[in-house]
Structure 1
């Protein structure tokens, strides 16, 4: 089996924790190229073994023959990079969100279909062992009720959009079906840096999802509770999951299973998301978190934001960026 020729766009701290450790462990992957804005990316090139470094996506695509590209930049740069790769006939893994607007996400999903390319978005919670175990408890019908929370201290630009998207995606995954109705409320006086959002979502399956994304919490925390079919699942991410069936409670803890060496790369699902994408590049099947799945999640998130009185577009002249993604 020939090695997959991979290009990576953005290799900052997040990529170094989330995707790159898995890629370098694969015998069937060759890290051919890196796109970086750093003045001196030589340390990154040596650390991860990239064959070449470029200043732009178009420069990389013109110089290299690639099978897939990982777009790990700030969200404001996703559309241009993903579009260029798809038009060049290259499969794409893109960090969440796929785009800053749902309309652009739809356009990219359509473009992937047009060019027959695999497009996957890094909604990695669907691959985290604790969430996978919880979801499996409910089978095809899903959970009758699901409460997903991601809370932390301190807000940021478009906080709900940036961080709660994972939990919105989990609500869709656990409850299934189309969205029937959304009600929501936001806290705080700054619509661009809200203090939190809560939402109630009804699905066509009859299942109900609840989102809590508080930015006025005392500490960071992520959890999910799901109920249905006389079953319960309780997730304290990324460490533990308790599933109760017919009165029997089974608890799994990630650290003991990893002999005390559990890492965020594995426990939050980043590693399995990368593996899943590489498998789809080879077998040409649709990923679990395909471009179209990401579109549906972003469209639901937009409905939550609108119902809460929050903007669904970026603030004019303002972008989110971080050296962690460079």
Structure 2
């Protein structure tokens, strides 16, 4: 496949897709946007905007009629399973927005199908590809940081805030701390278990490392940061702009200012572009992605343990869904 243009299909072109993945795809000259799956009665504006050759009403119709190398699934999470299962079974590599599924057993099933069909399956945990988080993680050895505190606070709550949003920080805690979780305690705030005001968790890993999650949805403003410590190193990350790494009393500061980072947008600073590039490289070289289906299953398993420990439901509430990736 080296040197050939990758034939790509995209399922969903809503708000997040338009901000995050689609700008990265159209910027590449080795990608051919072959097809779009959309609910719109008139898909022409979307096709013209992004350069799609054809539009289809369903995933199955697209897979039946197109020759594709990869599919990007950028829909609400309730639609991930059918689209990913169909694409993987058709022999197409899949990039799926997080979380991979609404249920852990479905996520495990998708990972198993990808393995059986020798397909690349990657989940969009883009924070691992954000320059500031990459800089912080690289300051520690392979076994990770001894202590890590990850916070994602945001004014206002919404349906399944921890499941949809704080899962990024749970994935970062796994990546930074290493090991597998052996003990989880958690507390939630708020009266609606599906629309919690926030959640805090303490996670002990089998390598002796400890992670702390804080996700306050009743905060005064948006804020995302991570502090990690171990082996004489401190990493202080203020996303998406600053990484402060201190080793032996010497601090190195990396700032993603517009001047220093080429007037970068959130597409780059929060790792969306890096995730897209990483997936497409894995499609070409057939190696396992950093945020593979296998990794995504482990993150979702830890998420379920945190929700259960906090007394929150792990299932979806009938008739409700989070619409940040609303399909268009």
**TM-score of Structure 1 vs Structure 2, range by shorter chain:** over 0.9
Contact 1:14 1:325 in 2 (8 A): no
SS in 2 for 1:226: strand
The residue aligned with 2:172 is 170
- 5 Å-filtered alignment, 1:108-257, equals 108-255=110-257, 256-257=259-260
The residue aligned with 1:258 is 261
RMSD of aligned Cα (Å): 1.0
SS in 1 for 2:151: strand
Cα distance in 2 for residues equivalent to 1:200 and 1:249: 28
SS in 1 for 2:23: helix
4+ runs deviating over 6 angstroms: none
* Structure 2 unaligned regions, length at least 5: none
The residue aligned with 1:305 is 307
The residue aligned with 2:88 is 86
Q: Cα distance, 1:324 vs. partner? A: 4.6
Contact 2:38 2:327 in 1 (8 A): no
Q: Cα distance, 1:39 vs. partner? A: 2.1
Q: Which of 52, 55, 59 matches 1:53?
A: 55
Q: Which of 8, 15, 20 matches 2:10?
A: 8
Give the number of aligned pairs: 325
TM-score, scaled to structure 1: 0.98
* Structure 1 unaligned regions, length at least 5: none
Q: Cα distance, 1:193 vs. partner? A: 0.5
Cα distance in 1 for residues equivalent to 2:36 and 2:205: 42
TM-score, scaled to structure 2: 0.97
SS in 1 for 2:276: helix
Cα distance in 1 for residues equivalent to 2:319 and 2:261: 45
Q: Cα distance, 1:86 vs. partner? A: 0.5
Cα distance in 2 for residues equivalent to 1:40 and 1:304: 42
Cα distance in 1 for residues equivalent to 2:199 and 2:188: 4
The residue aligned with 1:66 is 68
The residue aligned with 1:75 is 77
SS in 2 for 1:257: coil
